[in-house]
Amino acid sequence: MREGAQGELEVRIVKRRARVVVLGLGHVGLPLAVEFARAGFLVTGVEIDAQRVAHLERGESYVADIPSAELEPLVRSRRLRVTVDAGTLAEADLAFICVPTPMSKSREPDLSYIWRAVETICEHLHPGMLVVLESTTYPGTTEDVVLPRLRATGLELDRDFYLAFSPERIDPGNRHYRLRDIPKLIGGASAPSAHLAALAYRQIIPTVHVVSSARVAEMAKLLENTFRAVNIALANEFALICRALGVDVWEVIEAAATKPFGFMPFSPGPGIGGACIPVNPGYLVWKSRRHGFEPRLIGVAEEINRFMPYYAVDVIAEALNARGKPVKGARLLILGVAYKRDVGDVRESPAVTILEELLRRGADVAYSDPHVERVEIGIRAFQSIPLTADALAASDGVVIVTDHSTFDYRLIVEHAPLVVDLRNATRGFGQHPNVVRL
Ligand SMILES: NC(=O)c1ccc[n+]([C@@H]2O[C@H](COP(=O)([O-])OP(=O)(O)OC[C@H]3O[C@@H](n4cnc5c(N)ncnc54)[C@H](O)[C@@H]3O)[C@@H](O)[C@H]2O)c1
C-alpha cells in the first residue's frame, strides 16, 4: 500500500469501504451499480430521469439483464440507493460515468451527456476521488476532453484525483456472458489511475486487462464494435450475392463455420440496431477524418448495413408479388421490433425503418413483440398484439424481423399464409412452401 491519498483510496477499495457513485442507470450503469452493491460496497446511482428513479426505488428493474428479484433486496437494504440528486458525489470515492453517447442528427459524436456528467462531477470533485468513464467514445475523450475540465477545478491528476477509461463490454440479453464474466479493459490517464481503477474492478470482475493509456482502451472498444459491424456487413453482402446466385446463404455460413480456425460466423439480417454497433464506427470515422485519414472499409460496411432494411422490404414485396398481392393494402404482421433477440430496446432498430417503409408503400401493418409494448413510427403509435393462430391466419403475411426465443415458430409456420424470415428462425422446418428466407 502507498502513502497519502492513493494509499488511503487503495485501503478503502480493498476493504470495500469506498463509496461508489454511478452516473446514469441504463443498460450499462445499472448492472455495474448492482455488481458493486452485491460485492458489499455502498453504492448510489445518480439518474436524471425521475421516472427511472421511481421504478428503481420500488425495486423494479427496467433492464432485462437485471431481474427485479436481484435488484429489490439491494435497494431494500440500502446497499444500493438511487437518486436524482448528484450532491451525493461530495462523499464519493469512485465515480463511474455511464451516460449515453449517441450521434447527432448530422451524424457527429454527441458528447453532450458526457459533458453534463463531467460538469456535475466537477461541482463535487475532491481529493482522493477516482473518476472512470465507461461510455463508448472516440479516442482522446478521456485525456483531451474530460481531464482538462477536471483540472480546471484547480485540483491535479495524481495529487488530488485519478482518472481512467474502462469501456463497458456487456451484451444485453446474453445470459452466458454477464458483466462479471467479461474481462475488463482499463486505460488510465496516469499509471496510478490505471492501478486504482484495476483494483476497483477486481473487486467485482475476476479478470482485468490494463493497457498503457486511456486512448488505447478507447480505441480497443471501437475496434471490437467496428469488427462486428464490418463482419455483419460482410455476411449481409454474402446474403445479397447468394440471392443473386440462387444459393442458400445460411447453409453457406453453416458450412464455412465447420472450419475450426480462421473463421468466425456472423449472420446476415434486416440490419443493425442498438446504441452501439450502428453508432460507434461513426465515432471512429469522425475522429479519424479530423486527423486527416479517411477510412474506407468502415464507411462501406455502414452503407451495406444501412441498406439492409430497405432490401428486406424488397424481399417482402417480391414474396407478396409472387402470391399476386401488392404491398399496398397487404395486411402484414411484423414479428419482433426490438433491435435484437430477447431485448426490449428499439433504439436504431431496423424494424422501425422496415415499418416506416411498409407504411410509406401503403401496407396495413401490425406488430407483435413480447418485449416491446408500444412503438412510435412518425406520428403514429402502435401497440403490440398477442401472437395467436387467428392473428397469423388473418394476415396476408408475417415478417420475422427479430427472432425472439419465446416466439412459437411452429405456430407461425402452421398458421401464417406467408412467412418472410429475415433471421433464419424457421430453419428447423426445412423448405416450407409458405416460407421465404433472406
Ligand atoms: N447498451 C449496451 O449494450 C452498451 C454496451 C456497451 C457500452 N455501451 C455504452 O455505454 C453508454 C451508456 O449506454 P446505455 O445503453 O447504458 O444507455 P442508456 O440510455 O440505457 O442509459 C443511460 C442513462 O444515463 C442517464 N443519464 C444521462 N445523463 C445523465 C447525467 N448527467 N447524470 C445521470 N444520469 C444521466 C439517462 O437518463 C439514462 O437512464 C453508451 O456510451 C453506450 O454506447 C452500451
How far apart are alpha carbons 329 and 341 in whole angstroms? Answer: 29
Residue 2 binned pLDDT confidence (cut-offs 50, 70, 90): low
Does 29 sit in the ligand 1 pocket, CB within 6 Å?
yes
**52 in contact with ligand 1, CB cutoff 6 A:** yes
Q: How far is the CA of 24 from the centre of ligand 1 (A)?
A: 6
Q: Name the percent of the chain lying above pLDDT 90.
A: 95
98 catalytic residue (yes or no): no
Say how far apart CA 393 and CA 411 lie, in whole Å. Answer: 10
Nearest CA to ligand 1 atom 26: 24
412 in contact with ligand 1, CB cutoff 6 A = no
The listed CATH number (3.40.640.10, 1.10.150.120, 3.40.50.720, 3.40.50.9100) that belongs to domain 4-212 = 3.40.50.720
Mean pLDDT of 329-356: 96
Q: Does the structure show a pLDDT above 60 at 61?
A: yes
- Ligand 1 mutation target, pool 23, 53, 96, 98, most atoms within 8 A of CB: 98
pLDDT tens for 380-423 read: 999 999 999 999 999 999 999 999 999 999 999 999 999 999 99
Cβ 44 under 6 angstroms from ligand 1: no
> How many whole angstroms separate alpha carbon 124 and alpha carbon 90?
5
pLDDT digits (tens, 9 = 90+) for 160-175: 999 999 999 998 888 8
365 bridge partner residues: 332
Look at residue 172 in the predicted model and tell me its pLDDT: 84
Q: Return the pLDDT at 3.
A: 60
- Give tens-digit pLDDT for 99-111: 999 999 898 999 9
118 Cβ below 6 A of ligand 1? no
CA 23 to ligand 1 centroid distance, Å: 9
Task: Tell me what the mean pLDDT of segment 334-353 comes to.
Answer: 95
Distances from the Cα of 243 to the Cα of 165, 218, 249, 401, angstroms? 44, 38, 8, 18
| pTM for this model (two decimals) | 0.94
* Domain parsing of the chain, residue ranges: 4-212, 232-437
Cβ–ligand 1 contact at 24 (below 6 Å): yes
Total residues belonging to the chain:
438
Confidence of residue 373 (pLDDT cuts 50, 70, 90): very high
The reply to whether 232-437 shares the fold of 4-212 is: yes
- Cα angle 238, 349, 138; round to 5: 85
pLDDT mean over 30-51: 98
Q: Which of 331, 111, 73, 316 is nearest to 218 (CA)?
A: 111
Give per-residue pLDDT as tens, 76-93: 999 999 999 999 999 999
Residues 48-62: what's their mean pLDDT? Answer: 96
412 Cα: distance to centroid of ligand 1 (angstroms): 35
Confidence at residue 319, expressed as pLDDT on a 0 to 100 scale = 97
Q: Which fold has domain 232-437?
A: Rossmann fold (3.40.50)
CB-based contact 426:322 (threshold 8 Å):
no
The per-residue pLDDT for 437 is: 94
